[in-house]
């Protein structure tokens, strides 16, 4: 139990300062172009839009064909670019802003392009004494070991493909000398996750997923997911678990179209230069749930902002921590003459 708590504390320190990863391909898809149907390109647009909605609004909406048809009766009207791809496929790009507007007006959730980075430690027991950790790249091996390289590549690609389908940024460890000094197969397989969490710090990931896989066994694959100081455990195939990770993170960061705009007082300390001020301004402008903000008061290295935000104080607090700010406990609202009944936050900026 002590080891588990220690791992939680370490991950809380890892996850808070890490920066978001911008996913630039949310509104593009490459899909089959079936020449056997009556209108091949129209059908391809429908499939591509479903892929986009899977990333942007989640699996529940993308699987509801009736609702998708109601919201987007003519997917072609949202297409801004398309081009033929290899092997009878079509690459399609949609107008992201227009798609988001439809989703928000219908009260559907929208998950923006700034997303958490997930680091995956995956130990695989292939049987007959063959055990490996899946790395970001294939190691140098002899021809006799080529089969092992192919197995690793296929398993890794399954995970990456599902991550791409959900718009989930994923990275595997390098397994260089630094990693190998700190992590072993036994650490992963034996559940010594505190060593993995400690080794994950160098990757600046927002969350860590640990998998124990036995492809040729009837035993179920075991997974542990660490995010924001919490741990979740699952069983199942990699594709299922990546979907669960995406659903979990979307629940934290996606914004419902029904979310109300609330006014929040945000004080940010540590703004001691023009460069720091510019960085904070840019960060606030890039947080998608912030509708508008103004500077209300300046005192020393502290600036109080008046924020109009979708989703309330909890969502804003998570977004600010996600973007690298450090939340200050015990904020004294009297210092700036803020009514204690008002919603207020204080964070510290550290470049």
Supply the pLDDT for residue 152.
Answer: 86
2-19+114-253 has which CATH code? Answer: 3.40.50
Q: Give the pair of three-digit tokens for residue 327.
A: 């939340």
pLDDT, one tens digit per residue, over 141-163 is 545 555 566 888 899 999 999 99
Q: Is the dihedral of CA 69, 74, 80, 82 positive or negative?
A: positive
259-348 has which CATH code? Answer: 3.30.70
Query: What radius of gyration, in Å, describes the C-alpha atoms of the chain?
Result: 23
Residue 305 contacts by C-beta under 8 Å, 6 or more apart in sequence? 265, 266, 267, 268, 284, 293, 294, 295, 296
Buried-state track 240-252, b at ≥16 Cβ within 10 A, e below 16: ebbbbbbebbbeb
Supply the pLDDT for residue 180.
Answer: 93
SS3 assignment for the chain = CHHHHHHHHHHHHHHCCCCCEECCCCCEEEEECCCCCCCHHHHHHHHHHHHHHHHHCCHHHHCCHHHHHHHCCCHHHHEEEEEEECCCEEEEEECHHHHHHHHHHCCCEECCCEECCEEEEEEEEEECCEEEECCCCCCCCCHHHHHHHHHHHHHHHHHHHHHHHHCCCEECCCCCHHHHHHCCHHHHHCCCHHHHHHHHHHHCCCEEEEEEECCCCCCCCEEEEEECCEEEEEECCHHHHHHHHHHHHHHHHCEECCCCEEEEEEEEECCCCHHHHHHHHHHHHHCCCEEEEEEEEEECCEEEEEEEEECHHHHHHHHHHHCCCEECCCCCHHHHCCCCCCCEEEEECCC
Supply the pLDDT for residue 139.
Answer: 58
**For the chain, what are the domain ranges?**
2-19+114-253, 28-110, 259-348
- Edge to edge, the sheet with strand 290-299 lists 290-299, 302-310, 261-269, 344-348, 326-327
Supply the pLDDT for residue 325.
Answer: 87
- For the full predicted model, state whether its pTM sits above 0.85: no
Supply the pLDDT for residue 92.
Answer: 98
Nearest to 133 by CA among 156, 161, 160, 154: 156
pLDDT average per 10 residues of sequence, the chain (351 residues): 38 46 93 93 97 93 94 98 94 97 93 92 91 82 57 92 96 95 94 90 93 87 91 95 94 84 93 94 87 94 94 85 77 42 80 78
Supply the pLDDT for residue 329.
Answer: 64
State the residue for tokens 């492809």.
215
């Amino acid at each position: 139990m002590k080891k588990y708590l220690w791992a939680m504390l370490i991950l809380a320190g890892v996850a808070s300062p890490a920066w978001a990863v911008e996913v630039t391909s949310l509104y593009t898809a490459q899909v089959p172009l079936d020449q056997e149907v009556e209108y091949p390109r129209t059908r391809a647009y429908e499939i591509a839009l479903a892929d986009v909605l899977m990333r942007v609004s989640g699996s529940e909406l993308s699987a509801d064909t009736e609702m998708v048809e109601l919201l987007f009766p003519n997917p072609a009207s949202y297409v801004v670019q398309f081009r033929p791809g290899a092997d009878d496929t079509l690459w399609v790009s949609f107008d992201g802003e227009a798609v988001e507007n439809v989703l928000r007006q219908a009260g559907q959730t929208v998950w923006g392009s700034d997303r958490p980075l997930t680091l995956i430690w995956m130990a695989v027991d292939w049987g007959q004494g063959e055990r490996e950790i899946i790395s970001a790249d294939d190691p140098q091996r002899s021809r006799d070991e080529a089969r092992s390289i192919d197995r690793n590549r296929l398993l890794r690609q399954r995970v990456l493909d599902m991550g791409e389908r959900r718009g989930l940024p994923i990275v595997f460890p390098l397994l260089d000398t630094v990693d190998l000094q700190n992590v072993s197969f036994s650490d992963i397989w034996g559940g010594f996750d505190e060593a993995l969490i400690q080794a994950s710090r160098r990757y600046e990931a927002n969350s860590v997923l640990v998998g124990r896989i036995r492809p040729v066994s009837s035993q179920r694959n075991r997974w542990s997911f660490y995010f924001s100081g919490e741990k979740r455990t699952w069983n199942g195939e990699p594709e299922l678990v990546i979907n669960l990770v995406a659903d979990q993170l979307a629940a934290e960061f996606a914004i419902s179209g029904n979310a109300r705009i609330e006014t929040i007082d945000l004080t940010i300390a540590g703004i001691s230069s023009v460069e720091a001020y510019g960085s904070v301004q840019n960060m606030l402008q890039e947080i998608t749930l912030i509708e508008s903000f103004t500077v209300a008061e300046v005192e020393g290295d502290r600036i109080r902002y008046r924020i109009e935000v979708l989703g309330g104080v909890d969502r804003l607090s998570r977004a600010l921590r996600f973007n690298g700010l450090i939340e200050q406990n015990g904020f004294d609202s009297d210092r700036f003459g803020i009514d204690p009944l008002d919603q207020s936050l204080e964070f510290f900026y550290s470049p």
